[in-house]
């Protein structure tokens, strides 16, 4: 079976608030939700998921891109945006501190630094520690400007979003060193490789994949990134219909460093999957197949240029 039985049981039982992993290994919770333009309803839904994750023994919880909201138009998306010191992030810092949990907030609509003159936002991945402190903010580097007419996909993220200027070092967390990406970043292996070279043990790609691109590429890309970097890959996801103009694929996934799917929230429902992060397994895989040691010098890969 594609899913390990224990992980499948964890995914199903945690949703009902009845499961707690018993192990010395750290536990990560990968969440799936259906955000709408209603920020208050979204916060309530995310709070329930985080509380379920805490009951299941998680020490870090991963929420998807657009966890705060998904707007129905450019104008609404911009109007609902906030700064990092606004109400939404403040409430999540309080939640993290109350539950003593680390949070990965996978795609926050952050008002740009020149908001008064340039009404655009960043798509920001915010990490909050168990003391309620913001410890890292990665701003999405690759923007989703795609026109797939035959599949009914038309999105131009750059019309209202500023591309982030840089990658950030992996963050030391209770589950390991986490390298930060967001959604479309998944398609650029150079990003994952750079994070792995700088110590990442876990890569995370919180997402809101379209139904068409998700069905074709989602699992394939996540497993490929895990295999080539020999990292765990955790990808929280949006699922279902957000409003009349947009729907997401779902299948929030967790993948181990061998490329095996160890958690899947499915393509229909809101929920949580709990996965144990065994870094010794990661070290064993890297020892037995030392891919990174086999890489040639950088100039070799540029020799065709």
The answer on pLDDT for 61 being more than 50 is: yes
Q: Which residue has the higher pLDDT, 45 or 118?
A: 45
The answer on pLDDT for 67 being more than 80 is: yes
- Given this model, what pLDDT does residue 18 score? 38
Question: How does the average pLDDT of the chain come out, rounded?
Answer: 91
d(CA 286, CA 295): 13
Q: Which residue has the higher pLDDT, 147 or 44?
A: 44
pLDDT in tens, 78-124: 999 999 999 999 999 999 999 999 999 999 999 998 898 888 999 99
Q: Do 164 and 141 meet the contact criterion of CB atoms below 8 Å apart?
A: yes
The answer on pLDDT for 7 being more than 50 is: no
- Given this model, what pLDDT does residue 21 score? 66
- Given this model, what pLDDT does residue 9 score? 38
- Given this model, what pLDDT does residue 148 score? 74
231 assigned to active site: no
Closest CA to 266 of 281, 247, 250, 279: 250
The answer on pLDDT for 8 being more than 50 is: no
The answer on pLDDT for 39 being more than 60 is: yes
Among 46, 54, 140, 219, which one carries the catalytic annotation? 140
Domain ranges of the chain: 5-295
- Given this model, what pLDDT does residue 19 score? 54
Instruction: Give the pairing type, strands 237-243 and 232-235.
Output: unpaired
The answer on pLDDT for 10 being more than 70 is: no
- Given this model, what pLDDT does residue 15 score? 42
CATH fourth-level superfamily of 5-295:
Carbon-nitrogen hydrolase (3.60.110.10)
Among 46, 183, 231, 265, which one carries the catalytic annotation? 183
Whether the CA torsion 102, 107, 113, 119 is positive or negative: it is negative
156 assigned to active site: no
Q: Which residue has the higher pLDDT, 16 or 117?
A: 117
- Given this model, what pLDDT does residue 149 score? 72
65 assigned to active site: yes
pLDDT in tens, 141-192: 999 887 777 766 667 888 889 999 999 999 999 999 999 999 999 999 999 9
Among 46, 65, 110, 177, which one carries the catalytic annotation? 65
Q: Which residue has the tokens 């479309």?
A: 184
d(CA 68, CA 88): 7
d(CA 56, CA 27): 9
């Amino acid at each position: 079976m594609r899913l390990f039985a224990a992980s499948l049981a964890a995914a199903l039982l945690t949703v009902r608030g009845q499961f707690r992993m018993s192990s010395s290994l750290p536990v990560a919770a990968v969440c799936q939700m259906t955000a709408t333009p209603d920020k208050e309803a979204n916060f309530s839904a995310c709070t329930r998921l985080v509380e379920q994750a805490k009951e299941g023994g998680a020490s870090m919880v991963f929420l998807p891109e657009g966890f705060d909201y998904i707007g129905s138009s450019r104008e609404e998306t911009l109007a609902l945006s906030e700064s990092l010191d606004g109400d939404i992030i403040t409430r999540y810092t309080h939640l993290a501190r109350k539950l003593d949990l680390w949070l990965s907030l996978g795609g926050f609509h952050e008002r740009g630094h020149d908001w008064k003159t340039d009404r655009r936002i960043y798509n920001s991945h915010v990490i909050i520690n168990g003391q309620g402190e913001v410890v890292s903010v990665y701003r999405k580097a690759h923007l989703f400007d795609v026109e797939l007419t035959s599949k009914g996909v038309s999105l131009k993220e750059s019309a209202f979003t500023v591309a982030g200027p840089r990658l950030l070092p992996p963050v030391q967390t209770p589950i390991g060193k986490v390298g930060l990406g967001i959604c479309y970043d998944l398609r650029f292996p150079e990003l994952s490789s750079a994070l792995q070279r700088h110590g990442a043990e876990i890569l995370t790609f919180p997402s809101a994949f379209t139904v068409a691109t998700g069905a074709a590429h989602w699992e394939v890309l996540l497993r490929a990134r895990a295999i080539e970097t020999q990292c765990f890959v955790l990808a929280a996801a949006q699922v279902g219909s957000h409003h009349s103009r947009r729907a997401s694929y779902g299948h929030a996934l967790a993948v181990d460093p061998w490329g095996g799917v160890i958690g899947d929230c499915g393509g229909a429902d809101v929920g949580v999957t709990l996965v144990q992060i065994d870094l010794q397994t990661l070290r064993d895989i890297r020892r037995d197949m030392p891919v990174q040691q086999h890489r040639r010098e950088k100039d070799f890969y540029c020799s065709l240029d």
